[in-house]
Structure 1
Amino acid sequence: MRKVLSLAQPIMESYLHHAYQTSIIGNEEKSMPWVLSNYIQLYFDGNDALPVQFYMPDETGYTWNVACPFLDVQLIKKETITGLHLDIIECIIYALNNESYVITYINENHVPQKPSYQNRDFSHMFFIYGYDQEKKVFHHLGYNMENNNRKFGTIEVAFQDFVDAYYNNPEYLFHSHDKLFMAKPNCNFQYDFNVERVLDQLQQLLHSNRQQQFNDDPNHVFGLDVYGNFRRIIQQSLENGNELKIPPFLLLAEHKKIMQLRLEYMNRLKQFESFQKEQNRYRQLEQRLIFLRNAALLYNRTKRSEAMESMMDEIMDIRAEEADILDTIIHRMNLG
């Protein structure tokens, strides 16, 4: 027997929880008003390994949750699965047969085609959207190795490799790492584009206002101030000869792509004077950030730091340009 659930092209690939969420809900056009009313504020949580995130906390303050109003999510802890002597393969097949995508955490050291395979223990989010019982494989979407390059795409993972990776995963960094998530599209949920929320979030982004509801850690950074913090982390990496983290460059580029989509959507609403010029300016910022991402990839291969000397100034120039764009957008929205 074989079952494969449909996937949309995710709007974001920088971090897996965003990619998995939007690859599911992206099948429904009606989810776009919710996406465009969110994914605005930027955030640094004090961990230099993760310089930039979207600030979208769940009810506990956790910012890495795949759940959203367009998903009906069931959770089951690993201790429940083992305590009831359930077959994890059969649990996942049952979920898929009931149109639920499966998300959990596994040790990538046990999965061929993963960057950490037979190299180091690494607990990472793992997404399953189908299975083939004859071939004894799951269909998986994620970051995998292809021709010695880390690429986002789909692969087949053997049942036994998944079982080994699932049950040999000692690294629980967060409360979600010992749970199996079964996410089914919530077709009954409706959401209208929220202009007031968007305006508020754009103002919070521009002015770098603290929005923390749970743990007001002074090391946390919000809004456009994440650029200066990101610059600091890059500088330290270059000085120490360390590799540069690539996902933050990609996330910032995706942030500009979503801004373009948001402005295009607002133009269609015809509530404001056209944002076409600002949309084009955001497109240019996206292209500049993709160029920086490619420069960082080149640095990681060659360690030639002279090519990176202008990167720090470019990052702060992008911040200044975005601040100017945001100021224009906010002013126009306030005029109505």
Structure 2
Amino acid sequence: MLPVATPLAYAYQFYAFPLAILAERERSRDWVLSNYVQTAYDTDPGSPVPFCFYVDDFTRSPWLETQRLTREWCLRRGDRIDALVRDAVRDGWYVYLTVNERYIPRRRAYVEDVDYPHDVLVHGCDDDTDTFAILGYDEDQMFRATTAPQESLRTAFEAMGDRPFHDTGIVLYRYDETGHYPLDVAHLADAIEEYATGANTSRHHADCTVPLDRVWGARGYEPLTEHLDAFGAGRGEANILDVQVLWEHKRLMVARAERAEELGAEVDHVLGGLRRVERQAWVLRTMVLDAMEGERDRFRSEGVPLLTEIAESERSLLPGLISGLRGLGTRREALAVPAVAHQEDL
């Protein structure tokens, strides 16, 4: 059984899975906290992922080895997916792939007996019970590990149903013990500033991919507020993952500030405020869940103003965090510069 743990962020499984692998490894913490800073809001009404963290490649990390395969290649070769997964897990690889959860026990689609192509992470294999350990959202929409018969995984991989689906391909992850990533406080300060100002972070990768058309960073509060206000007014439904991502973002920002304080950054004056913002984001998430099951008028009068308060509080706090990080960076640079001899000492 390969280790996994619930990570700091897990709304969408494509980033939850690599983070779940790293959550068990304390050495990877500085890399995690240096990423998952920027957010991107896609205002396209048909977007499958309207509000999310922005990372150029969610599979890439100095702490993870990766290999990529395609469904078509495996099927054309005649490889049985259950055999491939068994061999991979025995060699220390976690296996990320898309399956039809209609055939995976402890999944909502299995209970409802409907086709539902979805991504999963296989992280264990037990030949005595002929089962795989599979991480993901279960029938209660809880992110946790369950088990499934090995033959069921094969069926779920091959019998995808008639509906079109986004195929993630097959990604193999293996933890890299040789990984190295010291926290770069100057980079982290710049990343937080890009979030705060709404800069288009995807432009950093314009040399190899077209920049994304999104509402970036803190500017995303505006479309998120509009969406939740419309939900409160009875015009459309809320996407609970939007507010889950919001809370995860605040949770990670608190973790960054706490880590910065550990390293000597002067951020104590903003840490309490950031913790309060995280609690407010969790309350907002709870309010959305309640409103989805009951009256929405109260949410519109209380929940939407709470989101505005979160945005305003964060706007006032982040400059202090950025300043504290840059101050720590300046002190580190000063300590690294060799002392210059005075003329009278020569």
TM-score interval (norm. to shorter): 0.7 to 0.9
Relative to structure 2, which stretch is displaced further, 37-46 or 162-171?
162-171
1:50 aligns with 2:49: yes
Q: TM-score, normalised by structure 1?
A: 0.88
Question: What residue is the counterpart of 2:342 in the other structure?
Answer: none
- Offset of 1:172 from its aligned partner? 5.8
Over the aligned positions, Cα root-mean-square deviation in angstroms equals: 2.0
Residue deviations 1:116-152 (CA, integer Å, cap 9, x gap)? 334543322111111222322211111112xxx3211
**SS of structure 2 residue aligned to 1:212:** helix
User: Equivalent of 2:184, from 168, 190, 194?
Assistant: 194
Question: What residue is the counterpart of 1:211 in the other structure?
Answer: 201
Question: What residue is the counterpart of 1:228 in the other structure?
Answer: 222
Gaps of 5+ in 2: 204-208, 331-346
Whether the aligned pair in 1 keeps the contact of 2:232 and 2:297 (CA below 8 Å) is: no
Question: What residue is the counterpart of 2:132 in the other structure?
Answer: 138
**SS of structure 1 residue aligned to 2:108:** coil
Letter in 2 for 1:212: S
Question: In structure 2, do the counterparts of structure 1 residues 24 and 245 end up closer, same or farther at CA, with 3 Å as the change threshold?
Answer: same
Give the 5 Å matches for 1:58-77. 58=57, 65-77=58-70
- Cα distance in 1 for partners of 2:107, 2:189 equals 41
Give the 5 Å matches for 1:185-334. 185-213=175-203, 214-218=209-213, 220-240=214-234, 242-270=236-264, 272-273=265-266, 275-302=267-294, 304-309=295-300, 310-334=302-326
Relative to structure 2, which stretch is displaced further, 112-121 or 95-104?
112-121
Instruction: Indicate the percent of aligned positions where both proteins have the same amino acid.
Output: 21
- Cα distance in 2 for partners of 1:76, 1:216 equals 26
**SS of structure 2 residue aligned to 1:116:** helix
- Cα distance in 1 for partners of 2:90, 2:324 equals 49
Question: In structure 2, do the counterparts of structure 1 residues 260 and 217 end up closer, same or farther at CA, with 3 Å as the change threshold?
Answer: closer
Letter in 1 for 2:210: N
Question: What residue is the counterpart of 1:97 in the other structure?
Answer: 90
Q: TM-score, normalised by structure 2?
A: 0.85
**SS of structure 1 residue aligned to 2:142:** strand
- Cα distance in 1 for partners of 2:63, 2:143 equals 24
- Cα distance in 1 for partners of 2:244, 2:52 equals 11
- Offset of 1:108 from its aligned partner? 2.0
Letter in 1 for 2:59: V
Whether the aligned pair in 2 keeps the contact of 1:72 and 1:183 (CA below 8 Å) is: yes
- Offset of 1:251 from its aligned partner? 1.6
Give the 5 Å matches for 1:77-116. 77-116=70-109
Aligned residues: 318
Question: In structure 2, do the counterparts of structure 1 residues 76 and 233 end up closer, same or farther at CA, with 3 Å as the change threshold?
Answer: same
User: Equivalent of 2:19, from 18, 22, 26?
Assistant: 22
Whether the aligned pair in 1 keeps the contact of 2:43 and 2:223 (CA below 8 Å) is: no
1:121 aligns with 2:115: yes
Gaps of 5+ in 1: 59-64
Whether the aligned pair in 2 keeps the contact of 1:228 and 1:316 (CA below 8 Å) is: no
